[in-house]
Amino acid sequence: MQFIVPDFFGNPTTLNYWGIWNYAELVGYVGILPFVMAMLALFFRRDKKTLFFGTLFFLSLIFSLPTIFAKLPYILNIPFISTSQPTRLLFVTDFCLAILSAFGLDYFIKNKKKIVYPLSFLLLIFTSFWIFVLAGNQVLQLVSQENIIVAKRNLILPTGIFIVISIAILISSFIQVKKNITIMIYIIIVGITAFDLIRFGQKFTPFTNKEYLFPNTKTIEFLQKNTGHFRIMTTDSRILPPNFSIIYRLQSVDGYDPLYLKRYGELIAASERGKPDISSPFGFNRIITPHNYDSKIIDLLGVKYVLSLSDLSSAKLQKVFQEGETRVYENKDALPRTYFLQNITEGDRTQRQGSIKAIFKEDFDLRRNAHIVDTSGREISFAATKLSMGSAKIIKYSHSNIIIETVNDGVGFLVLTDSFYPTWKVKIDGGKRGIYLTDYNFRGVFVPTGKHTIEFYNTLL
């Protein structure tokens, strides 16, 4: 239904959506005319390009909807795919429809009279929709009368567009008219389609004043002034929902992404459970919202401020600010973003459970100790050396480049509590070095004696 009448089940923007799950992830509307042309291509074109995009169209649709095939990646736990949201494959479906509509238009220019078949197909669908909203519910009583009124109202415009486009197409296909009139008809058809799609898009993504959603408050100003390279967390998503802190350039430990790093998800799961348990499930597979502020993993993540709507009682937390019901607590045990430590223990890269157990030991002081794993086959040449506790200062911090200046009297091991990932590299005074997986999820590098400039940078090369 939502490929032809996008708002048959209402629209979340107008607060009358009564369909299943998520409107944005189930509506596949590409416009009436593009859909007609796509059907024309699928009905009559016989070439490799149409076969490819037609097959991809049906496959993406099958794996988007709740079919047995769509469940296979999750049953088999296929990496990457099993952590994604299946309905979002509809973007592939819509892309294929857009390509197929171009193929259909190309076919229509050469074989105009066959357009009657996809038009008849859509006429049958629209007729069945109208039968349902006018009489069908009286027999089956599947939907409330209120929802039927919504469906009926939102069926009018697509039906009107379909009728106008159908009449225009049929006139240009079966009636001999002058060339300039034919061109005018095509302009009208394209204009109606443009109006249809712009109206559809603007209805779902309306614009409003950003201050309504992202207000500047005294709490935000306090955090922006004092957080620096530390992080924040909230105990209640009503304060700052996942990802909202990005707008204010505040770094938080929560997140909402279609895909996220598995190691980070496991670390947070263990932190929330208060024990070295990294077994799945971790909760909703696209949202990470840590709340266990007493965990030492929160300290390791450098969470300096904890936001709450109620009073918190913890030996390491001190209330430093309040605005209305929003309380801001300072975590006195938060570790800096980058620091040197005294001791390291080496782990096996294949033993994930061993690594998480190591950092959860009660006597494992994360300020002085780190558990590191070599992921590249290098030998840890400084392992037996007594490490120097030097000083480290972040000079530049951006999403793909971090520069740190260090001073230490001997060989040291520098920790950066940003997530480890193979595309991140490191240079010391311009010379490439190796990054070690540190404390299960983070980055670490051995630093020689003296003053140095450490540069972490992100590259696929």
The ranges assigned to domains in the chain are 12-204, 212-331, 338-458
Residue 288 backbone class (left: φ over 0; alpha: ψ -120 to 50; beta: rest): beta
| CB contact at 8 A, 190 and 263 | no
The CA–CA distances, whole Å, from 31 to 34, 38, 53, 257, 357 equal 6, 11, 18, 29, 55
Note the pLDDT of residue 259.
Answer: 76
- As to burial, measured by CB atoms within 10 angstroms (0-12 exposed, 13-18 middle, 19+ buried), residue 344 is buried
Note the pLDDT of residue 424.
Answer: 96
Q: What is the pLDDT of residues 205-252, one digit of tens each?
A: 888 888 888 999 999 999 999 999 999 999 998 999 989 999 999 999
Q: What is the pLDDT of residues 346-397, one digit of tens each?
A: 888 778 888 999 999 999 999 999 999 988 765 555 554 578 999 999 999 9
pLDDT score of 288 more than 80: yes
Note the pLDDT of residue 443.
Answer: 96
**Per the structure block, which two tokens stand in for 416?**
């950066």
Note the pLDDT of residue 33.
Answer: 95
| CB contact at 8 A, 97 and 38 | yes
Note the pLDDT of residue 306.
Answer: 98
Task: State the CB neighbour count (10 A cutoff) for residue 415.
Answer: 26
| CB contact at 8 A, 275 and 228 | no
Note the pLDDT of residue 49.
Answer: 96
Q: What is the pLDDT of residues 16-72, one digit of tens each?
A: 999 988 898 889 999 999 999 999 999 999 999 999 999 999 999 999 888 889 888
Note the pLDDT of residue 351.
Answer: 81
Please give the average per-residue pLDDT across 405-410, as a whole number.
94
Round to whole Å and give the CA distance between 255 and 435.
25
Note the pLDDT of residue 347.
Answer: 86
Q: What is the pLDDT of residues 183-215, one digit of tens each?
A: 898 899 999 999 999 999 999 888 888 888 899
Q: How confident is the model at residue 331 (pLDDT cuts 50, 70, 90)?
A: very high
Round to whole Å and give the CA distance between 88 and 96.
14
Round to whole Å and give the CA distance between 22 and 232.
30
DSSP state of 151: H
pLDDT score of 460 more than 80: yes
The CA–CA distances, whole Å, from 405 to 23, 213, 455 equal 49, 38, 9
The CA–CA distances, whole Å, from 371 to 218, 302, 360 equal 40, 17, 11
Note the pLDDT of residue 360.
Answer: 95
Mean pLDDT of the chain: 91
Q: How confident is the model at residue 257 (pLDDT cuts 50, 70, 90)?
A: confident
Note the pLDDT of residue 136.
Answer: 77
50, amino acid identity: T
pLDDT score of 270 more than 60: yes
pLDDT-above-70 percentage for the chain: 97
Note the pLDDT of residue 209.
Answer: 86
pLDDT score of 452 more than 90: yes
Note the pLDDT of residue 264.
Answer: 93
Round to whole Å and give the CA distance between 296 and 366.
8
| CB contact at 8 A, 43 and 74 | no
Q: What is the pLDDT of residues 127-181, one digit of tens each?
A: 999 999 998 777 777 888 899 999 999 999 999 999 999 999 999 888 887 888 8
pLDDT score of 421 more than 70: yes
Note the pLDDT of residue 20.
Answer: 85
